[in-house]
A and B are shown apart, each in its own frame.
Chain A
Amino acid sequence: MDSVLGNWPSYDPHNFSQLRTSDPSRSSKMAPATYHSIHNRDVPPADQVINTEHKNILLREIYRRAEEKIDLIALPSPSQLTPKRAASDNLIPEHGSKQPRVST
């Protein structure tokens, strides 16, 4: 009998009598179909490099909390004690002309 396991001795040779590897229709049912992705969302960027993070988890957490505290409030640096005026949203106006000087 031509079984997958070869001619190894077995407790009961009839145990494997159902197995027919030479049967083509059966083998195609048994082999799972290979999945081919039909979308391109999971293609990695061409320049992607995967590296181990050098900072350990404790330091990452300490930095994350420090950055959270900084991000909480938008801030000017404390060395400038005089109040700053915010820049206008449109820094480069479409018409390209100079901005009028803000009166002090």
Chain B
Amino acid sequence: MFFKSSNITARIFDRQICTPAPGTSVHYARKFYENLVPSYTVYEVECPDHSFRKFTDDGQYLISFSRNQQELIVYRPRWLSFSCKDEDCDNHDLPLKAKRFESFFTQLYCVPLASCNELICKDFFLYMESNKFGLFATSTAQVHDAPAVGGAVQGVPSIEKITFHLLRLEDGFVLDEKVFCNDYVNLAHNLGVFLYDDLLTIVSLRYQIIHILQIRDSGNLVHVRAIGEFCREDDELFLNSNAQGMALSDKNKQQQLLGNHIYNNIHQAQPNPGNSFLSGIKQRLLSFMFRGLWNEETDDTLRVQKIRQKFYFHFQDYCDLIIWKVQFLDRHHLLIKFGSVDGGRQVSRHADTHPAFVAVYNMDTTEIVSFYQNSADELYMLFEQFCDHFYATSRNSMHMNFISSHSNNIHALEQLRSIKDKASSSSQFMKKMLSSLPFSCQSLSPSPYFDQSLFRFDDKLISATDRHKQSTDHPIKFILRRHPYSLRFKIKPGPEAGSMDGRAKKISWFLFHPVLPLALSVQQTLIMQPPLNR
């Protein structure tokens, strides 16, 4: 126990004289959040009609988009202060200015990002904390049933133009842009893009390429490499030069055989690896699988049998696997999810119908380090023990490394174990858990109110993930994990008196400030205007 008393004044005095144990300074500081809680709710605040996306992870900005999804509006969160001279201050109402949106947020700027036929993807936002850069995406309309030309995968839709905008959030200046034409990147909830430190990976689903970009301090987006068809930077050069040589020797043979007839359509100056070769990453994957199966047996007959049964029998299925999602594990390693064309965008309940695989790929040596089916015990053990390392937070931002997960928090682990024990089938349970790998970038709020060692709350109604949750009229309770185990504060989305129509389905989402005891809740029904609570 760091603090002997739960009284805030006693805790401040304790802080003056006691140093925390080594490596626990963040936990020590966080305990003050047991005392400083959002204890007052302002219902149905009059606010500008924007869709509020999130607070940046350092709490400096609130990102929102205009209703027509063409403009970005950035606010600076402020903190209201007032003084009260009465004796009974706790029960005193807040002044009128506390009920205004402008008292808490100052608009910094409004920048148009999307041109006439484009829309900003309002579920996409990545923040680079070290330089205070923000990455946004705009796209034109999706085209389903697009023809699979130029190496594209059949069955993946196409978007005429996707633009990634890198902005300096201090003043809204657009630093750089990256455009993808006739391509498809999964933008919703940052699924197709992952940011680690200054490295960005963008997965082109349509052309099956993992683009690695670097965000320089100057604000430039620099293309580092493209993994997919080629793995090493000079693979393309090597294949081109060899193909030219081969084509020339083919041409000579043709001339020898057929005299002076020259067949122009056979001679190709450019190689077409899509037709003759599997893509580089696929080759790495298949050869890794082959070698792994080959090495499992010493006897040659058994070996050949095993290869035939487990590899060649499913060879076409393995060849047809496509990259669905990618994340960084560190600056050199990627975690890549492979799946079938139909099953990639699987919701966890459909996880069993389409098999998926997860591979660890070393970008520098271009080797696959390991490969698992997404129901593998081994992968689940890694997930259970090292979950917070899968989140791959940048080393620069310390507080992002303290988000509760079942690997760093005993309460979360107990919760996971209890779900595991209740699950009817352990392999289904593992598949469901592992379907969340690879993780999406910056999808968890670093707010200390979601720290499982401080508070207990119903995670069906509210959690650190930035997804919509089903809303009820009952307030969401946050109960202390430590003595005195009491209710500390409540969050009630929706109007103060409760909603008029109890039958209408309501969803709500919450934006918690990472540092201040400030949270926004937005509730939406299908019919009503979204009321905004704080």
Instruction: List the interface of chain A (C-beta within 8 A of B).
Output: 54-59, 61-63, 65-66, 69-70, 73, 75, 77-78, 83
Given contacts A55-B330, A61-B382, 6 further A-B contacts (CB under 8 A): A56-B329, A56-B389, A61-B385, A62-B360, A62-B370, A73-B297
- Separation of A98 and B297 alpha carbons in the complex (Å): 34
Between A and B, 5 residue pairs with Cβ closer than 8 Å are A56-B389, A57-B386, A58-B329, A59-B329, A78-B295
- Separation of A93 and B370 alpha carbons in the complex (Å): 41
Determine if B316 is an interface residue (Cβ-Cβ < 8 Å): no
**Which B residues lie within 8 Å of A54 (CB)?**
330
Do residues A65 and B330 form an inter-chain contact, with CB atoms below 8 A? no
Known A59-B329, A70-B295, A78-B290: A65·B370 in contact at CB below 8 Å: yes
Do residues A58 and B369 form an inter-chain contact, with CB atoms below 8 A? no
Which among A57, A59, A70 has the highest number of chain B CB atoms within 10 Å? A59
**Which B residues lie within 8 Å of A59 (CB)?**
329-330, 333, 360
Do residues B370 and A56 form an inter-chain contact, with CB atoms below 8 A? no
**Which B residues lie within 8 Å of A61 (CB)?**
382, 385-386
Do residues A73 and B369 form an inter-chain contact, with CB atoms below 8 A? no
Known A63-B369, A78-B291: A56·B330 in contact at CB below 8 Å: yes
Q: Mark B353-387, 1 if CB is under 8 A from A, else 0.
A: 00000001000000001100000001000100110
CB distance from B214 to the nearest CB of A (A): 19
Closest A residue to B290 by beta carbon equals: A78
Do residues A73 and B296 form an inter-chain contact, with CB atoms below 8 A? yes
Tally of A-B Cβ pairs under 8 angstroms: 44
- Separation of A65 and B291 alpha carbons in the complex (Å): 16
- Separation of A63 and B292 alpha carbons in the complex (Å): 14
Range class of the B interface residue count: 20 to 34
Instruction: List the interface of chain B (C-beta within 8 A of A).
Output: 290-292, 294-298, 300, 329-330, 333, 360, 369-370, 378, 382, 385-386, 389-390
Closest A residue to B386 by beta carbon equals: A58
- Separation of A37 and B420 alpha carbons in the complex (Å): 52
- Separation of A69 and B386 alpha carbons in the complex (Å): 20
Do residues B330 and A78 form an inter-chain contact, with CB atoms below 8 A? no
Do residues A75 and B295 form an inter-chain contact, with CB atoms below 8 A? yes
CB distance from B315 to the nearest CB of A (A): 15
- Separation of A58 and B165 alpha carbons in the complex (Å): 33
**Which A residues lie within 8 Å of B292 (CB)?**
69
Closest B residue to A55 by beta carbon equals: B330
Which among A54, A58, A66 has the highest number of chain B CB atoms within 10 Å? A58
Closest A residue to B389 by beta carbon equals: A58
Closest A residue to B371 by beta carbon equals: A66
CB distance from A72 to the nearest CB of B (A): 8
- Separation of A13 and B295 alpha carbons in the complex (Å): 81
Do residues A58 and B382 form an inter-chain contact, with CB atoms below 8 A? yes
Closest B residue to A54 by beta carbon equals: B330
- Separation of A57 and B390 alpha carbons in the complex (Å): 10
Closest A residue to B291 by beta carbon equals: A78
**Which B residues lie within 8 Å of A55 (CB)?**
330
Do residues A58 and B390 form an inter-chain contact, with CB atoms below 8 A? yes
- Separation of A54 and B386 alpha carbons in the complex (Å): 16
**Which B residues lie within 8 Å of A66 (CB)?**
369-370
The contact of B378 among A65, A75, A78, by CB within 8 Å, is A65
CB distance from B339 to the nearest CB of A (A): 20
Do residues B389 and A57 form an inter-chain contact, with CB atoms below 8 A? yes
**Which A residues lie within 8 Å of B294 (CB)?**
75, 78
**Which A residues lie within 8 Å of B370 (CB)?**
62, 65-66
Closest A residue to B298 by beta carbon equals: A73
**Which B residues lie within 8 Å of A73 (CB)?**
295-298
CB distance from B21 to the nearest CB of A (A): 21
- Separation of A77 and B290 alpha carbons in the complex (Å): 11
**Which A residues lie within 8 Å of B298 (CB)?**
73, 75
Do residues B382 and A62 form an inter-chain contact, with CB atoms below 8 A? yes
CB distance from B395 to the nearest CB of A (A): 9
- Separation of A66 and B292 alpha carbons in the complex (Å): 10
CB distance from B332 to the nearest CB of A (A): 9
**Which A residues lie within 8 Å of B300 (CB)?**
83
- Separation of A100 and B386 alpha carbons in the complex (Å): 55
What are the 6 A-B residue pairs with the smallest beta carbon separation, nearest first? Answer: A58-B389, A78-B294, A58-B386, A75-B295, A66-B370, A56-B389
CB distance from B15 to the nearest CB of A (A): 25
**Which B residues lie within 8 Å of A62 (CB)?**
360, 369-370, 382
